[in-house]
Amino acid sequence: MSLPLLELRGVGKSYGGGWLRQHTRAVHDVSFTLEAGRPEVFAIIGESGSGKSTLARMVLNATAPSEGQILFRGRDLATIRRSADRRAFMQAVQPVFQNPFEAFNPLKRVDRYLYATAYHFTEAKGRAAQEAKADEALHKVGLSLAEIRGRFPHELSGGQLQRVAIARALIPGPALLVADEPVSMIDASLRMTVVNLFRRLRDELGVSIIYITHDLATAYYISDRIIIMQRGEVVEAGDARRVLMAPQHPYSILLRDSVLSIDPPGDASEPNDPARPWTSAGASLAARSGDVP
Ligand code: ADP
């Protein structure tokens, strides 16, 4: 059997300590495995402060766990030190950030980011080759270079700009995308264009996606498996459909009910049906505060 793509073994992260002895346990004892050769959308769900972003930063090797291990293709991230190894890791595991308007410099044309990524991570050293790489990646996200060439971030919609960010992330040919709240800053009407894209990338490019969100509806809509986090710990994990239909933990039940109460489905056999209002892009925990599109 091949090595797993990603394996978390009892991963935890605490902040603080020192002479003030103020300790925040952001993540505690998280374990899960993404198999190689079986691309999936793996959702990490939880309310604000539950440790999702800390977990994402550890998977991206941007911060080290204080307990446990993270292995990518069998290699402990803690052993990745040489610049060639860091580069190979960055090539294989790419981030997608929450707010595309913050990810791009407002004074810089967006196509430049694609050329720079092609230059750094592929053999495309000349401009024509970089443009070809950019155009190829943009087509994977339903755009083209002709549409975005020379454009500044504010000239694109949030949904378009996030798709450009995803195109940039695809240029190195990653095996895993770590997307931290990638649609929360995007207009509800455009969210599904981005969310559906993740499923297409999984199916057509074989890329696995860790999809971090507090938005249950989109998570259930696109995910194969989910974990639900509360106060840094995984309170429930499993097949997305199973967890939705038969949540066991009181917190998962609460989350599920906050979505289902919008419009309970009669026949619960098709949780991935886009026609169902409770799986619509904007229905989320925020629905309780009236933020339903
Ligand atoms: P989420 O992404 O689910 O909102 P976070 O991972 O951002 O959760 O935060 C989890 C907990 O860790 C919170 O209590 C947060 O205040 C704390 N935390 C996150 N980053 C830091 C940091 N750099 N220093 C101290 N505490 C942090």
Beta bridge partners of 238: 226
Q: Which helix or strand (DSSP H or E) is residue 148 part of?
A: helix 145-148
Domain of 279, CATH number, reads 3.40.50.300
Residue 27 domain-assigned (yes or no):
yes
Ligand 1 mutation target, pool 13, 20, 24, 57, most atoms within 8 A of CB? 24
Determine which residue's CA is closest to atom 15 belonging to ligand 1.
Answer: 49
Residue 273 CB neighbours (<10 A): 12
Would you state the pLDDT for residue 259?
67
**CA pair distance 286, 27, nearest whole angstrom:** 24
Please choose, from the candidates 71, 80, 30, 78, the residue with its C-alpha nearest in 3D space to the C-alpha of residue 50.
30
Q: What is the residue type of 229? A: M
β-partners of residue 24 are 15
DSSP classification of residue 186: S
Q: Which residue has the tokens 């443009």?
A: 131
Q: Is the dihedral of CA 157, 161, 166, 168 positive or negative?
A: positive
Measured in angstroms, how far is the CA atom of residue 57 from the centroid of ligand 1?
Answer: 11
Please indicate, yes or no, if residue 1 is contained in any of the structural domains. Answer: no
Phi (first) and psi of residue 226, to 5 degrees: -140, 155
In a domain, 190, yes or no: yes
Per the structure, the count of domains in the chain is 1
Q: For residue 232, how far is its CA from the centre of ligand 1 (angstroms)?
A: 9
CA distance 271 to 265: 9
- Is 54 among the domain residues? yes
- pLDDT in 10s for each residue of the chain, 293 residues: 689 999 999 999 999 866 666 788 999 999 999 999 999 999 999 989 999 999 999 999 999 999 999 999 999 999 999 999 999 999 999 999 999 999 999 999 999 999 999 999 999 999 999 999 999 999 999 999 999 999 999 999 999 999 999 999 999 999 999 999 999 888 888 888 888 999 999 999 999 999 999 888 888 889 999 999 999 999 999 999 888 778 888 888 887 787 655 444 444 444 444 333 333 333 333 332 333 22
Contact 69, 11 (CB under 8 A): yes
Is 262 buried (19+), middle (13-18) or exposed (0-12) by CB count in 10 A?
Answer: middle
Side-chain-facing half-sphere of 58: CA atoms under 13 Å = 28
Q: According to DSSP H, which parts of 22-126 are helical?
A: 52-59, 83-92, 100-103, 110-121
Query: What DSSP string describes 147-179?
Result: HHTT--GGGS-HHHHHHHHHHHHHTT--SEEEE
Domain with 153, as residue range(s), is 6-289
Distance 26 CA to ligand 1 centre (A): 6
User: In this structure, are residues 184 and 98 in contact, taking their beta carbons and an 8 Å threshold?
Assistant: yes
Decide if 231 is inside a domain: yes
Ligand 1, CB cutoff 6 Å, lining residues: 15, 24, 26, 46, 48-54
The verdict on residue 40 lying in a domain is: yes
CA of 156 to the centre of ligand 1 (A): 31
Task: Write down the pLDDT at residue 216.
Answer: 83
